[in-house]
Amino acid sequence: MIEIKNVNKWFGEFQVLTDINETIERGQTVVICGPSGSGKSTLLRCINGLEPYQKGQILVDGVSLSDPKTNLYKLRENIGMVFQRFELYPHMTALQNITLAPMKVRKLSKDKARKKAMELLQRVGIPDKADSYPANLSGGQQQRVAIARSLAMEPKYMMFDEPTSALDPEMIKEVLDVMIDLAKEGMTMLCVTHEMGFAREVADEIIFMDFGKIVERGTYEGFFKNPKSERAKEFLKQIL
């Protein structure tokens, strides 16, 4: 369970996050949406300890991130993250991208790590691309390798930061399908995305952020069909 309690964060004078409260139960899929600059990426970065916050608390399975005794490296093993621009290691093949952390962090043998990586590539539908370098893969394929790379650490949570917004339309589906399967298998997910179809199919809750605040929350029906705030209505008009 991820508990976010009254979190506030500033970049210098500028307040990026204001009084964020949210609880994500195991097995849930939460979708975060909102205009550019509203603090969505910053919130995700705070949750796996990539950014500090100045007020409030974030607890992952009861462990506080701001506690100086918390080992953030250890904690991040449990939280996978997928980025808009894939961020694959460009000097490694797809397979090497996936096996690196299991081998170096979990100390898995090369054979075991490879075997597992091949299973994951199978699962995301590109076992034939194991030996390709990222530069020779399409965007959709790169993003699926990135998902496999995260899954190789067997995380309890997965976070996605606009995973399909850098993709050509014909590749969006192949990535969303992988994400939908994951959600249905019971993965706990936190996804920044504006993909309505995805939200409809798997989101337990949708959060709408604006200017660093959670302005509205609800189910797919509640939020997309009947937004309450003016800002949400405006925003939905733009993305639909």
Partner 1 sequence: MFDAVARNITFLLGGFVVTLQLTFFALAGGIALGALVGLGRISKNKWIFQPVTLYVNFIRNMPLILVIFWFYFVMPIIAGRPLNPFLSAVISFIIFEATYFGEIFRAGYQSISKDLTSAAYSTGMTYIQTARYILIPVAFRRMLPSLITQSIVTFQDTSLAFVIGLQEFVRRTSIVDNLEVRSIQLFGFVAIIFFIFCFIASKISRHFEEKGRKLGMI
Pairing assessment for the beta strands 213-218 and 205-210 based on DSSP bridges: antiparallel
Question: Does residue 73 touch partner 1 according to CB under 8 A?
Answer: yes
Helices 139-151 and 94-104 pack at an angle, to 10 degrees, of: 20
Question: Between residues 50 and 239, which has the closer beta carbon with respect to partner 1?
Answer: 50
C-alpha to C-alpha distance for 240 and 190, rounded to whole angstroms: 22
Question: Does residue 97 touch ligand ATP according to CB under 6 A?
Answer: no
Structure tokens at 16: 């990026």
Question: Does residue 7 touch ligand ATP according to CB under 6 A?
Answer: no
Report, in angstroms and rounded to the nearest whole number, the Rg of the chain calculated over CA atoms. 18
Among 26, 104, 115, 228, binds partner 1 (CB under 8 A): 104
DSSP SS3 for 64: strand
Question: Between residues 102 and 212, which has the closer beta carbon with respect to ligand ATP?
Answer: 212
- 135 contacts 171 by C-beta, under 8 angstroms: no
Question: Does residue 76 touch partner 1 according to CB under 8 A?
Answer: yes
Question: Does residue 41 touch Mg ion according to CB under 5 A?
Answer: yes
Question: Between residues 36 and 238, which has the closer beta carbon with respect to ligand ATP?
Answer: 36
3-state secondary structure 4-46: EEEEEEEECCEEEEEEEEEEECCCCEEEEECCCCCCHHHHHHH
We find the least distance from the C-beta atom of residue 81 to Mg ion, in angstroms, to be 12
Instruction: Give me the residues that bind ligand ATP (CB under 6 A), please.
Output: 11, 16, 36-42
Instruction: Give me the residues that bind Mg ion (CB under 5 A), please.
Output: 41
Instruction: Give me the residues that bind partner 1 (CB under 8 A), please.
Output: 45, 48, 50, 73-74, 76-77, 79-81, 83-85, 87-91, 100-101, 104-105, 133-135, 146, 149-150, 152-153
